[in-house]
């Protein structure tokens, strides 16, 4: 069957009109020129003092590092969650990494579990960064109340997939260091080897009526040594150094492994958590 | 001239203005944002979450996890399945029995876990959880999803690692099919498990006790019950407040002078919270013996005897129990206690404890 041209025109126009009315209020008008985007990589390098850092197994009897109290130790696990990443630039450039929680791992966005044991996890690729110059990165170390209040989430926050979730005080461990030190008096248990040192920094709650409640989720804002351009054919990155020495012998806490070797609660980790503010620096950038 | 062909037969012969107008209406309706077009649940749909009008706003994040019949039934199946425990012997239902408003049996004053391990606290009832801000005697969970994890992984409860639970579920073809139907993913993961359990628990709404009928003007309290309610309003409602019958605060009610279980301090690390525990909801309280976090009392009479004459002092004792004459507790005569107990029994909701919606399915 055929409709007349007039009817067809009316129909087509009505469709056009109605679909144009369907745009959400928060849609911004298309820019006059197409916006250009590029990628930006954040590469996390874990170091100890001026040197490199490497993991050993929990049965390793070599203790290659010395802490601020002259105690030998080794490193068996090191990692942290990086979330809520933002890039900013001198001319108002701004990029905020999308954040989303979901039971579907593919829908979880913006949570990164950076593990020394997993090289892939140490590079975070940011996509669709608006072209421009950037000279600062902001990020959160840990998983804050916004995410915890959404309930169970998949992907790197799934405890069955290696996510660091405390069950007794439901929330995520934001930063963890484990190793062994002859100075640690820890005896072997189901969960830890002899001479274990386990520093788990968690705790995300603020209670207005309880000043003792510890929120160890920290937000850092770190300048780049020089600005970096993002654009379609560019592959810039920034190398962020996390210095474990600053974490265990930093301005706020110098950890003595003979007394502080089992940190598994928010308050016990509060002073160490303050060292997070200076443990991360941008070492260099690549244009 | 080319003709434009439409193959939709309904268009044929309709006046154009009607056709266009109708399309406009249809399409404009499609412009409404998602939350507006959400169909209202049919009142008789037992699987729809419907908050009672006199309840506070739901705290549960239904946006992330809307209740469906398939999801609810999957959650129920998991609730009754000991697969969640280390040796497949302990289920949620082992310590949470519907006939007791999902509290534990009186013979289990503290929960009995894998291998007969005993816990340190009395398993609470499970009612109106979709409206609660915090969970457990110490408030260690602030979202319903995280609550079952604590029981699954606790060495004196289910004693199982969550990773092993997920592996067991993925190895079970029946569960793989059921989870796939509800969540549409190839592999079962932790949030799917916890979301299914939350769907089941979110519908555990208890709001049909005699007390609720009294509030709705559908039941006249017996004289003793009415006197009990007046006493309740005077002496108890300060803490057991609101329609949920708890203010969800943490308080020390004078059970001990020194504490083997520090309670809320475990979470807050604040010495002032030592010996404080969450004020429990009194809904269905006549069914949930024994009472207090440590199952100290076997009867409501014993609880009221404690409040009238049994309290002991400690630094964190709630100030509400300090009387002007220096004595501790709530002055109550034996007659008043008897009246209070008559009132507390009106909080039992047999429609809830007998609701077939929660029955185990084969």
Neighbours of A197 (CB within 10 A): 27
Which domain does A223 fall in, by range? 34-286
Mean pLDDT (chain A) is: 90
Residue B247 has pLDDT above 60, yes or no: yes
Same domain for B201 and B217, yes or no, is: no
DSSP B175-233: HHHHHHHHH--SS--HHHHHHHHHHHHHT-----SHHHHHHTTS-PPPHHHHHHHHHHH
B-chain CB neighbours of A1 within 8 Å are 5-7, 9, 11-12
Q: B33 pLDDT band (50/70/90 cuts)?
A: very low
d(CA A17, CA A80): 50
Which chain B residues are Cβ-neighbours of A266 within 8 angstroms?
269
3-state secondary structure of A34: coil
pLDDT digits (tens, 9 = 90+) for A207-264: 877 777 899 999 999 999 999 999 999 999 999 999 999 999 999 999 999 999 999 9
Nearest CB among A18, A153, A210 relative to B24 is that of A18
Q: Do B268 and A149 touch (CB under 8 A)?
A: no
Tell me the average pLDDT across B211-223: 97
Measured distance CA(A98)–CA(A93) in Å, rounded? 16
- The H or E element spanning position B153 is helix B147-153
Q: Tell me if B8 is assigned to some domain.
A: no
Q: Which of residues 284-323 of B touch A (CB under 8 A)?
A: none
Alpha carbon of B129: minimum distance to chain A alpha carbons (Å) = 14
Residue B257: per-residue pLDDT: 95
Residue A22 in any domain: the answer is: no
Q: Is residue B112 in a domain?
A: yes
Q: Coil, helix or strand for A269? A: helix
Same domain, B146 and B259: no
- B10 assigned to some structural domain: no
Is the domain of B191 the same as that of B75?
yes
| Confidence bin at A206 (pLDDT 50/70/90) | confident
Question: Per-residue pLDDT averaged across B126-141, rounded?
Answer: 97
Where b means 16+ CB within 10 Å and e means fewer, A179-188 reads bbbebbebee
**CA atoms of B26 and A125, how far apart (whole Å):** 43
Whether residues B179 and B230 share a domain: the answer is no
| Residue A88 within a domain | yes
Mean pLDDT, chain B, as a whole number?
89
**Does the structure show a pLDDT above 50 at B84?**
yes
B91 near B81, Cβ under 8 Å?
yes
- Per CB-CB distance under 8 Å, the chain A contacts of B12 are 1
pLDDT, tens digit, for every residue of B11-30?
Answer: 333 444 444 444 444 444 44
Residue B246 CB neighbour total at 10 angstroms? 17
Residue at B143 is within a domain: yes
Round to whole Å and give the CA distance between B83 and B158.
10
The verdict on B253 and B192 lying in the same domain is no
Query: How far B194 CA sits from the closest chain A CA (Å)?
Result: 7
- Assess whether B184 and B304 both reside in one domain: no
Q: How far B132 CA lies from chain A's nearest CA (Å)?
A: 13
pLDDT at B123 over 70: yes
- B150: pLDDT strictly greater than 90: yes
What does the pLDDT look like over A52-77, one tens digit per residue? 999 999 999 999 999 999 999 999 99
Instruction: State whether the Cα torsion B244-B250-B251-B252 is positive or negative.
Output: positive
Lookup: tokens for A177:
């260091």
Instruction: Give the lowest-confidence range in B19-28, B41-50, B56-65, B155-164.
Output: B19-28
Residues 6+ apart with CB under 8 A from A10: B16, B20
* Residues B106 and B121 occupy one common structural domain: yes
Same structural domain, B142 and B101: yes
**Residue B52 within any structural domain of the chain:** no
Residue A88 CA, chain-centre distance (Å), reads: 17
B224 and B157 within one domain = no
Query: What's the number of domains chain A is made of?
Result: 1
pLDDT (tens digit, 9 = 90+) per residue, B173-195? 999 999 999 999 999 999 999 99
Number of domains in chain B: 2
**pLDDT above 60 for B197:** yes
d(CA A182, CA A197): 10
B170, B205, B240 - which closes a domain: B205
Q: Can you give the pLDDT at residue B76? A: 98
CA B245 to chain centre: 13
Q: Is A11 on the interface with B (CB under 8 A)?
A: yes
Q: Do A101 and B195 touch (CB under 8 A)?
A: no
Q: Give the pLDDT score at A211.
A: 73
- B301 within a domain of the structure (yes/no): yes
- Of B26, B2, B261, B248, which is closest to residue B141 (Cα–Cα)? B248
How much is the pLDDT for B254? 97
> Hey, what long-range contacts does A254-258 have (CB within 8 A, 24 or more apart)?
A254/A68, A254/A69, A255/A67, A255/A68, A255/A69, A255/A199, A256/A69, A256/A71, A256/A183, A257/A67, A257/A69, A257/A71, A257/A73, A257/A181, A257/A183, A257/A184, A257/A197, A258/A69, A258/A71, A258/A183, A258/A184, A258/A185
Ramachandran sector of residue B159 (left: φ over 0; alpha: ψ -120 to 50; beta: rest): left
CA A140 – CA A146 distance, rounded (Å): 12
pLDDT of residue B107: 86
Q: Is residue B50 included in any domain, yes or no? A: no
The Cα A134–Cα A284 span in angstroms is: 13
pLDDT in tens, A148-158: 999 999 999 99
- Would you say residue A84 lies in a domain? yes
| Subunit contact B143:A214, Cβ cutoff 8 A | no
Q: Write the residue in A3, A169, A207 that is nearest to B11 by C-beta.
A: A3
Indicate whether B109 and B227 sit together in one domain.
no
Are residues B234 and B164 located together in one domain of the fold?
no
Domain of B97, CATH number, reads: 1.10.760.10
B73 or A18: which carries more pLDDT confidence? B73
Looking at the predicted structure, is the pLDDT value of residue B114 above 80? yes
A38 has a pLDDT exceeding 80 = yes
Left if phi > 0, otherwise alpha if psi is -120 to 50, otherwise beta: which for A106? alpha
Please indicate, yes or no, whether residues B187 and B215 belong to a single structural domain of this protein: no
- Is A146 in the B-facing interface, judged by CB distances under 8 Å? no
The pLDDT of residue B7 is above 60? no
**Main-chain dihedrals φ then ψ at residue B307, nearest 5 degrees:** -65, -30
Range of the domain at B130: 69-205
DSSP three-state, residue B129: helix
DSSP B75: H
Query: According to the model, what pLDDT value does residue A46 have?
Result: 98
Domain membership of residue B293 (yes or no) is yes
Looking at the domain assignment, is residue A95 inside a domain?
yes
Residues A13-27: tens digit of each pLDDT: 444 444 444 444 455
């Amino acid at each position: 069957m055929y409709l007349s041209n007039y009817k067809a025109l009316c129909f087509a126009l009505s469709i056009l009109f109605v679909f144009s009315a369907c745009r959400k209020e928060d849609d911004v008008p298309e820019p006059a020129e197409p916006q250009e985007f590029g990628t930006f990589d954040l590469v996390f390098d874990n170091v100890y003092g001026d040197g490199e850092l490497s993991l050993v197994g929990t049965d390793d009897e070599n203790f290659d590092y010395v802490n601020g109290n002259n105690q030998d130790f080794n490193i068996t696990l090191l990692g942290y969650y990086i979330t809520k990443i933002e890039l900013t630039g001198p001319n108002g450039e701004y990029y905020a990494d999308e954040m989303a929680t979901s039971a579907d791992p593919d829908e979880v966005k913006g949570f990164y579990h950076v593990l020394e044991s997993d090289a892939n996890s140490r590079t975070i690729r940011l996509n669709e960064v608006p072209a421009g110059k950037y000279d600062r990165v902001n990020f959160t170390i840990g998983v804050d109340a916004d995410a915890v209040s959404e309930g169970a989430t998949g992907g790197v926050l799934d405890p069955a997939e290696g996510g660091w979730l405390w069950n007794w005080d439901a929330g995520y461990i934001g930063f963890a260091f484990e190793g062994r030190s002859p100075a640690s008096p820890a005896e072997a248990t189901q969960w830890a080897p002899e001479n274990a040192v386990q520093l788990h920094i968690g705790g995300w709650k603020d209670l207005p009526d309880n000043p003792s409640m510890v929120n160890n989720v920290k937000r850092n804002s770190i300048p780049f040594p020089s600005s970096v351009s993002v654009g379609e054919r560019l592959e810039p990155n920034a190398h962020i150094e996390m210095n474990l020495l600053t974490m265990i012998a930093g301005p706020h806490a110098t950890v003595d492994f003979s007394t502080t070797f089992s940190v598994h609660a928010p308050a016990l980790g509060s002073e160490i958590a303050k060292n997070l503010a200076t443990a991360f620096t941008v070492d260099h950038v690549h244009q | 001239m080319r003709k434009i062909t439409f193959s939709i037969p309904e268009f044929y012969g309709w006046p154009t203005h009607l056709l266009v107008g109708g399309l406009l209406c249809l399409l404009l309706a499609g412009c409404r944002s998602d939350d507006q077009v959400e169909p209202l649940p049919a009142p008789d749909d037992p699987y729809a979450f419907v908050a009672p009008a006199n309840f506070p706003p739901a705290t549960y994040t239904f946006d992330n996890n809307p209740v469906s019949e398939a999801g609810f039934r999957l959650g129920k199946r998991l609730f009754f399945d000991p697969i969640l425990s280390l040796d497949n012997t302990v289920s949620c239902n082992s310590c949470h029995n519907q006939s007791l408003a999902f509290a534990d049996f009186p013979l289990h004053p503290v929960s009995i876990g894998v291998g007969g391990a005993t816990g340190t606290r009395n398993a609470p009832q499970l009612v109106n959880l979709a409206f609660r801000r915090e969970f457990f005697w110490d408030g260690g969970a602030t979202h319903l999803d995280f609550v079952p994890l604590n029981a699954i992984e606790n060495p004196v409860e289910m004693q199982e690692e969550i990773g092993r639970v997920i592996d067991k579920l993925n190895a079970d073809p029946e569960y793989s099919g059921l989870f796939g139907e509800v969540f549409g993913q190839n592999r079962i993961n932790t949030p799917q498990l916890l979301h299914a359990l939350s769907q089941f628990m979110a519908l555990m709404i208890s709001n049909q006790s005699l007390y609720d009928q009294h509030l709705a003007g559908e039941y006249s309290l017996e004289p003793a019950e009415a006197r009990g309610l007046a006493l309740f309003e005077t002496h108890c409602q300060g803490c057991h407040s609101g329609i949920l019958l708890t203010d969800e605060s943490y308080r020390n009610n004078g059970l001990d002078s020194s504490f083997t279980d520090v309670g809320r301090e475990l979470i807050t690390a604040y010495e002032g919270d030592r010996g404080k525990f969450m004020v429990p909801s009194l809904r269905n309280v006549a069914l949930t013996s024994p009472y207090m976090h440590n199952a100290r009392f076997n009867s409501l009479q014993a609880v009221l005897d404690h409040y009238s004459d049994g309290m002991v002092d400690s630094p964190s004792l709630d100030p509400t129990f300090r009387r002007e004459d220096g004595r501790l507790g709530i002055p109550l005569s034996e007659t008043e206690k008897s009246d209070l107990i008559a009132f507390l029994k009106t909080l039992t909701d047999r429609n809830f404890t007998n609701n077939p919606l929660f029955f185990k399915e084969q």
